[in-house]
Structure 1
């Protein structure tokens, strides 16, 4: 354990939902204080999430994040004020493949994120209230996703039937190999994004922008889209409630998000 705690970490990249945020999507005071202590120690802090940029602004302000952040699993890199630095869109062919596979499945809702908007065909879907609570804004109802094919940031298949999402992930991956990333950001969310939209590439981009070597970076997360940054970070930390497949890819495991696991990890592994 001393090898972990003695690393000279200069930059921490954190997932949001299931990691930084409590189960009700709020920030605990202990987490806010821990991030403040990081910044006071001269350690940089940023966010990498499947969320769209405008669903990060409240947390950016609350935490005092003053460096670029990664939205859409790294597909979009934005400044703290929300202005765009980099955007990678899902190829139209991959988008059509995913939408075709997900279409008309009774247990699955399909959402598209494009141009800052959350697009749905049914505003009354059972998963919509959960997402609206997390994002902080409502969806835009559309009749078709076809007009948005050239500028899709992310497609989400969501369902309480987590076994079905695992099956859909396995079926979609070979169909879009080399064209798109497919991962479950949470057990109930299956995300489809551009190939460049992964948190590993986001960590590399942000570290280079900030002038920090990868060996001096740390990454913390809980979802199936987080091991991509675990593989490149100098120190990788999994949340206690993460699936075993995620936990075993991290260097260390902290407490669950319901127990301020991020704050505990900062205090134990990162702060001098």
Structure 2
């Protein structure tokens, strides 16, 4: 076994294939990593309810869980460690920006559920907001939205696809969440591995001891990684575990 003690895995485009499935090969090697004493942690932009079934299927019922890009850190499923919310005022402003671009899709994660263009809760303080997002395959529209967002204060911008923008509170990233998890399990960032494919993975990939980009990752993510593994259709996660974590 290598010297790594934490393996933080993105879900979509990384551990999951294009049908949102975990291959038997990936599952097998994740189990081998756990058997060798490595803490495996799901680290995703998904919300808790969406991420939990995958963590449970992988046998990670006692492992930390990072969701909404670090907006929530769970010590283990069912036991919240830290939550960082977007202010109501920020979300209303993000929503007004979305309304100025009616061709774009938008969504928002809250502790009460997901709201989007078809189902919006309106101007209410009854919701604790975690993350806001925009989606548009017209890159000019997406660039216009991002340009405006970059002029605002208090936001962390990333993406989970070339066609979206994800908005968290400033300073909330998978990197800061993984650092928190390292503290929970008693290891250093140098002993952590982060694997991902999108800009919401980039800070973590740059911050840990071994940052891994998937073969299908965005070019900027590949450029920031220590190594590039196979794609999410080639069991790239299993390759990382075999070659770098367990070294077998």
Within-5 A mapping of 1:90-101: 90-101=86-97
What TM-score, normalized to structure 1?
A: 0.85
Deviations 1:197-227 (A, max 9, x none): 2111001000011101111111010011111
Is this contact kept in 2: 1:77–1:86, CA < 8 A? yes
Instruction: Confirm or deny that 1:164 pairs with 2:141.
Output: yes
Q: Supply the distance in 2 between the matched residues of 1:253 and 1:116 (Cα, whole angstroms).
A: 37
Deviations 1:77-119 (A, max 9, x none): 1243333221100123332332222214232111121124011
Query: Structure 1 runs of 4+ off > 3 angstroms?
Result: none
- The gaps in structure 1 that reach 5 residues or longer are 1-5, 123-140
Q: Supply the distance in 2 between the matched residues of 1:57 and 1:218 (Cα, whole angstroms).
A: 21
> Structure 1 residue 162: deviation in Å?
3.8
Q: Which residue number corresponds to residue 75 of structure 1?
A: 71
Within-5 A mapping of 1:40-79: 40-65=35-60, 66-79=62-75
Q: Supply the distance in 2 between the matched residues of 1:248 and 1:163 (Cα, whole angstroms).
A: 24
The DSSP-based 3-state class of the residue aligned with 1:93 is helix
Q: Which residue number corresponds to residue 129 of structure 2?
A: 152
Within-5 A mapping of 1:99-248: 99-122=95-118, 141-142=119-120, 144=122, 146-148=123-125, 151-175=128-152, 177=153, 179-248=154-223
The DSSP-based 3-state class of the residue aligned with 2:230 is coil
Q: Which residue number corresponds to residue 23 of structure 1?
A: 18
Is this contact kept in 2: 1:185–1:224, CA < 8 A? yes
What TM-score, normalized to structure 2?
A: 0.92
Is this contact kept in 1: 2:110–2:127, CA < 8 A? no
> Structure 1 residue 266: deviation in Å?
1.1
CA RMSD between the two structures = 1.8
Q: Supply the distance in 2 between the matched residues of 1:116 and 1:48 (Cα, whole angstroms).
A: 20
- The gaps in structure 2 that reach 5 residues or longer are none
Deviations 1:38-72 (A, max 9, x none): 01111110011111101111111111112111111
The number of residue pairs the alignment matches comes to 246
